Amino acid sequence: MRDEKILVVDDEIEIGEIIKDFLEIEGYKVFLAFDGEEALKSFNEHSPQLVILDLMLPKIDGMEVCRTIRTHSTVPIIMLSAKREDTDKILGLGFGADDYMTKPFSSGELVARVKSHLRRYTTFSKSISNENEDTYTFDHIQISFKSHSIFVHGENIPFAAKEFQLLKYLILNENRVLTKEQIFNHVWGYNDYGDINTVTVHIRKIREKIEKDPSSPKYIQTVWRVGYKFSRS
């Protein structure tokens, strides 16, 4: 039995059971949920390392479940849809899905994607949580999550608390598009009545501190009409 736990959410019980069977053959511990409310409850109860999430769900739809999970977790989320035209909706709206598959799909492809996402997530999680390796380095930038310090070309650059939290959130969601709403809710919180445009202001300040050319950023990229994403490439 593997250590990884997977949450499978699909209102079609038969499909959910089939996915569960295939993943359990691979040694994963699998939990099933059949609507959005049950999905969130199961996620909080079992803390899975990956979620397979159908788009169309009763009570709370898959997009809202995905968005809710993303407010406090970076686990990989693979979304399922019966319609090919939903692809742009799943990825384009930027609610935090890592991948998508259109039904019907092969069990082999699903298992391969699950393994790939878990391998990448586990490697990245270890790289930022190991006490002996508490720094995250890319190009000429070094960030310590433990000491909340950032060095650019060896120089310690002052960061306000919210700037650091925002940058950390982007890094932990590398290559994932985050909406302004997601960033605001995560960094400032749902109960904060501030202006969501403060996200744009903080992004600009961070770019001025870490980007070689803030007007043409390499790391913090703007995704037009959606939000932002962090990328090292």
Residues 77/51, Cβ–Cβ less than 8 Å: yes
Question: pTM of whole model > 0.85?
Answer: no
User: How far is residue 73's CA from residue 17's CA, in Å, rounded to a whole number?
Assistant: 25
- Looking at residue 132, what is its pLDDT? 45
- Looking at residue 90, what is its pLDDT? 56
List of E strands, 2-91: 5-9, 29-33, 50-54, 77-81
Q: Is the dihedral of CA 191, 195, 199, 201 positive or negative?
A: negative
- Looking at residue 100, what is its pLDDT? 81
State pLDDT tens for residues 132-160.
Answer: 446 788 888 988 887 788 999 889 888 87
State pLDDT tens for residues 154-195.
Answer: 898 888 778 888 998 898 888 888 888 888 888 877 554 557
| Best CA proximity match to 20, nearest among 12, 32, 11 | 32
- Looking at residue 126, what is its pLDDT? 57
Using the CB atoms, write b or e for 81-109: b if 16+ within 10 Å: beeeebeebbbebbbbbbbbbeeeeeeee
Collapsing DSSP states into helix, strand and coil, what is residue 15? helix
- Looking at residue 30, what is its pLDDT? 97
- Looking at residue 125, what is its pLDDT? 61
Would you put residue 141 in left (φ > 0), alpha (ψ -120 to 50) or beta?
beta
- Looking at residue 82, what is its pLDDT? 82
User: How far is residue 143's CA from residue 161's CA, in Å, rounded to a whole number?
Assistant: 14
pLDDT along the chain (233 residues), means of 10: 87 95 94 96 94 93 87 82 67 63 88 85 59 70 84 88 87 87 80 70 93 92 89 79
User: How far is residue 49's CA from residue 140's CA, in Å, rounded to a whole number?
Assistant: 31
